Amino acid sequence: MLEVKELRKTFDDYCAVDDLTFTVKPGSIMGLIGQNGAGKTTTFRLILDFLKADRGEILWEGKPIGKNEYDIIGYLPEERGLYPKISIQDQLVYFAQLRGKTKKEIEPKIDEWMERFQVKGKKTDKVKTLSKGNQQKVQLIATLIHEPKLIILDEPFSGLDPVNAELLKEGILSLKKSGSCVIFSSHNMDHVEKICDHLIMLNNGQTVLDGVVHEIRQSFGRTKVFLESQLTVEEVEAIPGVKRVQPREDESLEITLSDPEAGKILFEAATKNGYIPMFNQQPPTLEEIFKQKVGERHE
């Protein structure tokens, strides 16, 4: 289990991380989200001891993380770094050896990992011959092949097409099943929402949201309605509690409510003549919530 307690880091007069506290239990995934400069990468570098905190504690299984614990960590930085003139196999063996594994332990696993992430190429191919997407997969395999217990992924979905992003998502979920603690950052809130058990949202180094994803969304109320009916935009806008109406390409309406209770009035108006194809009332998305929270901080 990873525990971060009251972590603080400043650079001169700038506070990059301000009293950050969270716990990641074995077999769980935590998402760390926020704008560029929110403090995500700084937090990762503090955990990895690349930076020294001004104050606070970082504990693994109840003890400060030391040299012996770094072999059980897998880290994928946002800035990818591979050796282009070295083969996939030699590269994976080298990185695993840095984490205390032997060539004999790692070589039999390379084919399995390349197949899992559908790397296009042979393990004897040099990295420079691979496409950008396949290079990213090799970098991810290098992060995971030593079977770390704590995995830190900084923007792992960056640059991946939807197919490869889905492969990565499945890979992260498999690590969860194996009992690893996983932390990842992403600008794509959809990925966060689908795979995270727990969420920390940062803004200017401060925690603005902390909790289970669906509970966070529910706490903001069901203020979003997707409606397909005979009601016009003008008729919907006239209903008390309707804040905004946005027509969509499929001719349905995306409606934002100032009060979730207005959904009942809207439903009654939409169904007064019977059946309607769609009425879906749900909480705001994580992306909408984040924009709201960031906006509050800048007011």
Kindly state the tokens that stand for 12: 């001169």
Instruction: Indicate if the pLDDT at residue 297 is higher than 60.
Output: no
Phi, psi of 112 (to 5 degrees): -60, -45
pLDDT of 15-64, one tens digit each?
Answer: 999 999 999 999 999 999 888 888 999 999 999 989 999 999 999 999 98
Q: What is the mean pLDDT of residues 180-202?
A: 88
Instruction: Indicate if the pLDDT at residue 231 is higher than 90.
Output: yes
Q: CA 233 → CA 134, 164, 245, distances in Å? A: 47, 39, 7
Averaged pLDDT of the chain: 90
Domains detected in the chain: 2-211 (3.40.50.300), 221-282 (3.30.70)
Q: What is the mean pLDDT of residues 64-81?
A: 83
3-class SS shares of the chain: helix, strand, coil, % to 5 = 35, 30, 35
Altogether, the residues listed in the chain come to a count of: 299
Instruction: Indicate if the pLDDT at residue 68 is higher than 80.
Output: no
Instruction: Indicate if the pLDDT at residue 194 is higher than 70.
Output: yes
Least confident of 112-116, 230-234, 257-261, 287-291: 287-291
Q: Give the start-end residues of each E strand in the chain.
A: 2-11, 14-24, 28-33, 55-60, 63-64, 73-76, 150-154, 181-185, 198-203, 206-211, 224-228, 242-247, 253-257, 278-282
Q: CA 200 → CA 34, 82, 88, 296, distances in Å? A: 9, 30, 35, 17
Model confidence at 253, in pLDDT bands (50, 70, 90)? very high
- Coil/strand/helix, residue 76: strand
DSSP letter for 73, please: E
Whole-angstrom distance, CA of residue 225 vs CA of residue 162: 27
- With left for phi above 0 and alpha for psi between -120 and 50, is residue 37 left, alpha or beta? left
Q: What is the mean pLDDT of residues 170-176?
A: 86
DSSP string, 45-72: HHHTTSS--SEEEEEETTEE--GGGGGG
Q: Is residue 120 within 8 Å of residue 134, measured between CB atoms?
A: yes
Looking at the chain, the whole-number percentage of residues with pLDDT higher than 70 is: 98
Whole-angstrom distance, CA of residue 227 vs CA of residue 267: 9
pTM of the model: 0.84
DSSP string, 178-197: TT-EEEEE-S-HHHHHHH-S
pLDDT score at 191: 82
Model confidence at 296, in pLDDT bands (50, 70, 90)? low
